[in-house]
Amino acid sequence: MGIATVAVYSDPDRRAPFVGEADEGVALGGSGAAESYLRGDAIVEAALATGADAVHPGYGFLAENAGFARAVIEAGLIWVGPSPEAMELMGSKLASKELMHTSGVPTLPGVDLTELDPDGIKRAAAEIGYPVLIKASAGGGGKGMRVVGSPDDLQAAVEGARRESASAFGDETVFVEKYLESPRHIEIQVFADTHGTTVSLFERECSIQRRHQKIIEEAPSPAIDEPTRTRMSEAAVTAASAVDYVGAGTVEFLYQGGDFYFLEMNTRLQVEHPVTEAITGLDLVRLQLLVASGDPLPPAATDPTRSGHAIEARLYAEDPTNDFLPVTGTIEHIRFPSVEGLRVDSGVEDGSEVSVHYDPMLAKVVARSSTRNEAAALLARALEGAAIHGSVTNRDLLVRILRHPEFLSGDIDTGFLERHDPARLGSPLVTGEGERRAAVAAAIAGQEQNRREAGILASIPSGWRNVPSQPQHVTFAGSGGDIEVGYRFRRDGALEVAGYESARIVEADPARVGLELDGVLGWYDVRRSDSAVYVDGPAGPVRLVELPRFPVTGTDEEPGSLHAPMPGKVIRVTASEGDEVEEGQVLVVLEAMKMEHTLRAPHSGVVTAVLTAADDHVAAGATLVVVGDS
């Protein structure tokens, strides 16, 4: 479109890909969101200083902040989004629910908790009926949300949701709403111009969620027939029209038993917008810029058509086997297959740091095909074949969900990951024989690396030893335990590998090995880091740790030590030295990556040491509390 771009960035994002891709960049300073991306004044100053015409707010932070939108407009800049008034009405989940109710759009009962004391909060929740959902009025993306099943847990949930909402959005307003236990999450993409046209660009289903945040989105929904699609689209257009909406927006509904209920309206572009682009052929960001320029929506948007099926998976640096705990660190290497029908929107590259300050999403991976099952198969295979080194991710979980019979049947709801154990779904894709073959390839690649570092002449065959009778041994730690690889080269150059009747190397260098074991040939890409060996082979990705020949044993750490799982800020310490505690009792609450993480007593006993306090910033692995035996 011939539009130059200016990126604003925080200190940790100085070398992020989006900064390098922009024409210019302006540093906001600071690390946390409050010091950088939530500073609307600094962003407006950056726009004026660089001669920008418009501000596009992106997905999060100030994207739905009416005050920021107003400041942009008052500075004489074009705001790429709806009016501040529309944002205020829809940005507050409480105000929008009331407006939708009066506009005839179905809603769930909810109560604002702002002016209520603890007893009033209990009465409000009891009147709605348990289970209930505590929600941040200004929030989204699962931040500031708690499911509460009984009055005993209510007050702590409200306080936690308020803190999390204030940290993520600068607004601690929360409300209580009836919690549906097995709904589908379906949203309608709406678009409106300044010429009175408001349209629906069909639905997306986002029912596969963890922590109330979407991880797999698709379009169209397998649950919606044409009459229901029409009714939901009409309700969404009604919702947008009620606030004189302009630009891209998403009206979200809960759908259960043939009925749907207004959930919220996101007054911005959604992370999952590529699935709508994939089935409609429309570029939603281009449409945003056209509408912001005052142009009417083009015919392709006012009379949209859809074709095929698209599915998006959100790749996160997090551990599904450990309650989806976010993981910080360096992305050493990341590559996705280049295949027709696959789109990757990534915010990281080789060497990128996953910071404690922001959401740990690494990429959105989108597959489009003619049918839903083909799109799921393409996406699963692309994720499985991606090289992602240096961080624990949810990749294996995503692959297993996409191949799960329940998902493929289309009979899903928001409770999918409550019925199916995330720890099992997120366990390594490759185990057993596949992992062992990868270990053999890693051993051969490691030998080639050692040869080259030692400057051994190329005329000497790979694997040649002065005393060839004894096999070489390498031991790796794998997902299922230690894997010992024993191999040797005979004087005739033939390879022998313990446990296999025949073995042959087709090609070998430190990064790639062609290895035939018992007549089955496979190609393995091998990449070493300081902490691990990554092998991407025919069966999928494998992470191994080469063990030292003479391991050091023993530790000086006290039993019962409770560690910080990641760098973060201590929000609350609930135990003192000498306290008797029960197994599972909350001892420390840590804030990291815009979420609160609760650390509990590893066993019943007596607190023998408290090594942290509220407001402390702690490093990953730091000992915070020690619980001794009673």
Separation between Cα atoms, residue 20 and residue 43, nearest integer Å: 18
Cis before 274 (ω within 30): no
CA dihedral 458, 464, 465, 471 (to 10 degrees): 140
Is the pLDDT score of 301 beyond 80? yes
pLDDT over 70 percentage in the chain? 95
Domains contained in the chain, CATH given? 6-87 (3.40.50.20), 109-178 (3.30.1490.20), 184-425 (3.30.470.20), 432-546 (3.30.700), 561-628 (2.40.50.100)
* 112 against 369, higher pLDDT: 369
Is the pLDDT score of 438 beyond 70? yes
Is the pLDDT score of 11 beyond 50? yes
Provide the mean pLDDT of the chain.
91
* 333 against 97, higher pLDDT: 333
> Using 50, 70 and 90 to split pLDDT, how confident is the model at 485?
very high
Angle CA(378)–CA(303)–CA(215) in degrees, nearest 5?
A: 35
Reported as type and span, the H/E element at residue 440 is: helix 432-454
Averaged pLDDT, 226-248: 96
At CB < 8 A and 24+ separation, what contacts does 295-301 make?
A: 295/193, 296/193, 296/194, 296/195, 296/197, 297/191, 297/192, 297/193, 297/195, 297/197, 297/199, 301/191, 301/199, 301/201
Q: Does residue 288 contact residue 79 with C-beta atoms inside 8 Å?
A: no
> Using 50, 70 and 90 to split pLDDT, how confident is the model at 593?
low
Averaged pLDDT, 455-461: 55
Q: What is the DSSP string of 183-251?
A: -EEEEEEEEE-TTS-EEEEEEEEEEEEETTEEEEEEES-TT--HHHHHHHHHHHHHHHHTTT--EEEEE
CA dihedral 281, 284, 287, 289 (to 10 degrees): -140
Burial (0-12, 13-18, 19+ Cβ within 10 Å), 252: buried
- The helix, strand and coil proportions of the chain, stated in percent and rounded to the nearest 5, come to 25, 35, 40
Q: Does residue 110 contact residue 176 with C-beta atoms inside 8 Å?
A: yes
| pLDDT value, residue 32 | 87
> Using 50, 70 and 90 to split pLDDT, how confident is the model at 597?
confident
Is the pLDDT score of 575 beyond 70? yes
Averaged pLDDT, 521-530: 94
Q: What is the DSSP string of 13-71?
A: TTT-HHHHHSSEEEE---SSGGGTTT-HHHHHHHHHHTT-SEE---SSTTTT-HHHHHH
| pLDDT value, residue 143 | 80
> Using 50, 70 and 90 to split pLDDT, how confident is the model at 618?
confident
| pLDDT value, residue 595 | 64
Reported as type and span, the H/E element at residue 448 is: helix 432-454
Q: Does residue 570 contact residue 618 with C-beta atoms inside 8 Å?
A: yes
Is the pLDDT score of 38 beyond 50? yes
| pLDDT value, residue 463 | 52
- Render pLDDT for 268-282 as a digit per residue (tens, 0 to 9): 999 999 999 999 999
Q: Which of 268, 400, 527, 528 is catalytic?
A: 268
Q: In 10 A of CB 244, how many CB atoms?
A: 15
| pLDDT value, residue 467 | 53
Is the pLDDT score of 469 beyond 70? no
Burial (0-12, 13-18, 19+ Cβ within 10 Å), 619: exposed
Is the pLDDT score of 198 beyond 90? yes
| pLDDT value, residue 466 | 54
| pLDDT value, residue 552 | 47
Q: Which residue has the tokens 């992470």?
A: 543
If we measure between CA atoms, which residue out of 53, 54, 140, 137 comes closest to residue 93?
137
Q: Which residue has the tokens 């191949």?
A: 403
Is the pLDDT score of 625 beyond 90? yes
Is the pLDDT score of 460 beyond 80? no
Tokens for 426?
A: 């997120």
Mean pLDDT check: name the lowest of 142-146, 301-305, 326-330. 142-146
Whether 268 is a known active-site residue: answer: yes
- Render pLDDT for 70-95 as a digit per residue (tens, 0 to 9): 999 999 999 999 999 999 999 777 78
Is the pLDDT score of 204 beyond 90? yes
> Using 50, 70 and 90 to split pLDDT, how confident is the model at 359?
confident
Strands 540-546 and 533-537: antiparallel
- Render pLDDT for 262-271 as a digit per residue (tens, 0 to 9): 988 999 999 9
Greatest mean pLDDT among 309-323, 468-482, 602-616: 309-323
- Render pLDDT for 402-430 as a digit per residue (tens, 0 to 9): 999 999 999 999 999 999 999 999 999 99
Is the pLDDT score of 374 beyond 50? yes
> Using 50, 70 and 90 to split pLDDT, how confident is the model at 553?
very low
Going from the C-alpha of 223 to that of each of 260, 265, 420, the distances in angstroms are 12, 21, 20
> Using 50, 70 and 90 to split pLDDT, how confident is the model at 456?
low
Mean pLDDT check: name the lowest of 157-166, 517-526, 551-560. 551-560
Is the pLDDT score of 528 beyond 80? yes
Is the pLDDT score of 462 beyond 60? no
